Amino acid sequence: MTKNMDEYLSKNEKELESSLETNLEEGLTTEQVEEHRQKYGKNELPQGKVTPWYIIFLKTLIEPIQIILMVAAVISVIAPMITNNWQVHLEEFIDFIVIMTIVLIDSILETVQTMKARKSMDALKSLSKPKAVVIRNDMQQEIDASELVVGDVVVLEAGKYVPAELRIIEASDLMIDESILTGESVPVEKTDEPLTKQTTILAEMKNVAFMSTFTTGGRAIGVVIKTGVDTEIGKIATSINENDEESTPLEKKMAKFTMQIALLSFAIGILIFVTLFFSGNKGAWANYLMVAITLAIGVIPECLAAIISITLSFSTKRMAKENVIVKKLQAVETLGSVNVICTDKTGTLTQNKMTVKKMIMDNSILESKAYAKEKNDKHMDLFLKSLVLCNDSVTEGSERIGDPTELALVDYAEIIGYDEQDARDKWERIDEIPFDSERKMMTTVHEINGVNTTFTKGAIDNLLECCSKIMIDNVERPITDEDKKQLLAISESLSENALRVLAFAYNTNYDKEKDKDDLEHDLTFLGGVAMIDPVRDSAVSAVKSAHDAGVKVVMITGDHAVTALAIAKDLDLAHDASEVMSSEKLDAMNDDELFAIIEQIKVFARVNPEHKVRIVEALQKSGNIVSMTGDGVNDAPSLAKADIGVAMGITGTDVAKQAADVILTDDNFETIIKGVNEGRNVYQKIKRAIVFILGVNMANVISIFILSTINTVSPVEATNILWMNLIVESIIALSMGMGANDETLMKVKPIKGKNSLFRGIWFSMIKIIIFTTGATIGAYYFGMSFVDKQFLEKVVGQEKAELGWWKLLKRHDPNITMEQKIEIGDYGRTTMFMAITCAPCFYSNLIKLSHWKTSKKLHLVVNKPLWISSMGAFFLNMIVLFIPGLNDKILNLISVEQYAEHWYLVPVVFAIALTPTVAILLLDGIVFVGYHYFPEPRRRNKIILEQLIKHDEKIKKANRKPRNIEED
């Protein structure tokens, strides 16, 4: 193992050579490389545990709902065998085959989706095979970064990733972007000097280049001091891999829901068996047990697991088209439950591209777009030359190498028509003074039209001290104290609005014989630029959409509080310094103090990785479902801690992607909001399916239980219930998650805290239960009205036929067999079967939950697959009534001849099956009108209060002074 990092910070070159067993001039020999590899291992980050597909498949089979369904499948075989004296018939395995098929389909779907997400994840790895330039055997060569070992001497250049942890031994203007570790968006300057003070703070280790950070400028030579798991990025990757994967909210809810349904079905089974046993013929206990078990199984929504998988699978496909890759199906629903989104600023809310917005020209502020349209005179010509010539960045096609600030200057010059490559070829650099952090300036010398011209850029206060002249309206004149005071005031006003100011000057008195320090004296001030990483236009609308949806957006950034607040104002995210908390204040608070104030804070500035975890924990403690976005290694712990971690696919590191649940392939905040919308629709579709299945199942169980209690015999057969489950669940319910999304759900505020699957569904479910139960029992008695004396004589003989079907079904007469009672009920069974199977086909499209409260306008969402499956199920029910053998032999319904005798039976029963749909429509209409037009007093007062608050906020927003830099 390598030594602690701080042991290398203060060592000189000789001490490093001795400690690392290397030669800093010639590098390692081939033999030493092999020795060090055996000693320290390869330079590879730890990989997360890859679960084989068959283990994923087996895990899906041991989920609670799957176990219950498999037990139910076994019981569905055993129960009929008991009634048939353990004789085995093929039809007794139909239930078993259907249920097990559903279980297998669901497990296969979940396994396939998980494997697809894994492949997408692998395809996104941006740093899969980075290269490194290394000195070995006194020769420079390029190798895979994974082949590096401790003691290797590595050459760093601008535009290259740092391949391992390096102690810098030579540096020339080395600038490294460490944002993936520290969150700081501005590149930091590195040195090759040993540190005199030991430190454990990464940002203070100025002579160390960290693995996977990016070199934005300069050159350097470093020696490898740590590789793979021992690096900072490796440590975080290891901790992420060791974290136990937590269940998503949907998984927790489904586990609880499954247990509740299991207990309910068990209780119903016992209740029905006991009731039938004591009210009926005790000798028929096996038949009663069969009825009880069949109805208990009927309560269990066998297809629910498959419905969830299919709904989530359709959603993940839609989300993939919207640039969202979901690693785990259940994460989609979690996105929909989110009520707080913690997001990075750079690249997510902003464009991650410094852009020139304002110009300091002729002692005034101009818009950059307006200046670009002005006439290209002598002043502009010199100014544009200073932008591109006093600049080390390079752009060529999509290749962009250099400091973001310098790249912004080149981009702006190109807008006006200056290409940096052409300019540098035409006016070559003949001398320079590189930028350093003490002077805060950079100077280059170029021969322009035979004149050696010096261009200098830097911080405006430092630059003005070197200026003796100023150019105003194409005329050079001596600069006055009033000029300097005015320019500094302008610069300060721009800085207060989070704009970064750079000033430019020139002169033509270059003399190579003189000291270089003289280059930065007696300059002529040309002007300046003010730049910022601007917000994405889409982010502004996305933040508004989030607020409309009741989702709080919290910006977490490594930038200073002033910059963060300025961006937050542009996003309409925060407007006052009281809504911003810096890391210093956060550090001074204990967890209880943070918990007390967390809901009021909209922006966290200058944060460290450990701060992000604290913020997430405090928000979760307040009952929030928290989403965290991030791209850097430093974001990984908070991504793993959040309820839903969202990693950036373009700028995101492998560690961040590994820790996250969702990956955005376009790094856009707007995409997160699309994910929230999708998640809400997924959850709503699942709840609708639950309402539908449980409502229909409970209606059937209640109606069968009532009629069984009255008649001492079940009104339907097990095959009837099986067909009903096949039609309602396997055909209709499975298509409920395939329809279009309901955009009005983004107007419904999320419920904070515990949100049970049963919350908000009782009214819809009770409507289905009551109306369907009524229609089903009504259909049964309508069918039994066709049982005449002649029919009874055929079944039980003339003497017993005098009693009528009502008394025959209720009597405990040992001379009347169970088979005879079942045959007596053929007409009632037929009409009840028609009502049970057809009623859900009509009202399946009417199940709505909370979204109708958002507007007085009716918003219809057409689910074409549901309409098609409903109509298909209806026609299947009609067809099965008229297929000889299937209708009377298997389903125990009346024969085709009996339909011919009573031609109006079918249309009347269909009319009865329509009554729940009509009743639901009428009741929904009454509730809708009452809710929107005749609210009860308490809610009416609440509506008036909300309208007053919105009106006040609108006035306050209209009166809020906009950011106007010119006025400043």
The DSSP bridge pattern shows strands 188-189 and 214-226 to be unpaired
Here the tokens at position 874 are 């209806």
Nearest alpha-carbon partner for 446 in 421, 420, 427, 426:
427
Rounded CA separation 166/178 (Å): 13
Please, what is the Cα angle at 726 between 724 and 731, to 5 degrees?
115
Contact 747, 548 (CB under 8 A): yes
Secondary structure (3-state) at 244: coil
Q: Kindly list the distances between the CA atom of residue 259 and the CA atoms of 68, 483, 600, 832, in Å, as whole numbers in the listed order.
A: 9, 78, 38, 30
Return the C-alpha torsion angle 309, 847, 739, 876, nearest 10: 90
Here the tokens at position 675 are 């994910």
Contact 606, 628 (CB under 8 A): no
Q: What is the 3-state secondary structure (H, E, C) of 89-115?
A: CHHHHHHHHHHHHHHHHHHHHHHHHHH
Nearest alpha-carbon partner for 731 in 918, 848, 866:
866
Please, what is the Cα angle at 779 between 773 and 780, to 5 degrees?
90
Rounded CA separation 311/326 (Å): 14
Rounded CA separation 384/377 (Å): 11
User: Which amino acid, one-letter code, is at 718?
Assistant: A
Exposure string of 370-386, with b = 16+ CB inside 10 Å and e = fewer, is ebbeeeeeebbebbbbb
Contact 696, 771 (CB under 8 A): no
Residue appearing with tokens 């492949």:
119
Label residue 96 exposed, middle or buried (CB < 10 Å: 0-12, 13-18, 19+).
middle
Nearest alpha-carbon partner for 132 in 120, 148, 119:
148
Rounded CA separation 857/860 (Å): 10
Secondary structure (3-state) at 218: strand
Helices H, strands E: what count in the chain? 37, 26
Contact 720, 780 (CB under 8 A): no
Nearest alpha-carbon partner for 880 in 869, 896, 903, 900:
896
Residue appearing with tokens 């209780």:
267
Report residue 217: phi and psi, to 5°. Answer: -165, 155
Label residue 264 exposed, middle or buried (CB < 10 Å: 0-12, 13-18, 19+).
middle
> Which value, in Å, is the radius of gyration of the alpha carbons in the chain?
38
Rounded CA separation 725/837 (Å): 9
Q: How many CA atoms lie less than 13 Å away from 823 in the CB half-sphere?
A: 12
Rounded CA separation 699/678 (Å): 31
Catalytic residue among 344, 403, 559, 635: 344
Contact 43, 148 (CB under 8 A): yes
Active site residue 344: yes
Q: Kindly list the distances between the CA atom of residue 767 and the CA atoms of 683, 685, 763, in Å, as whole numbers in the listed order.
A: 21, 18, 6
Rounded CA separation 809/627 (Å): 61
Q: Cite the active site residues.
A: 344
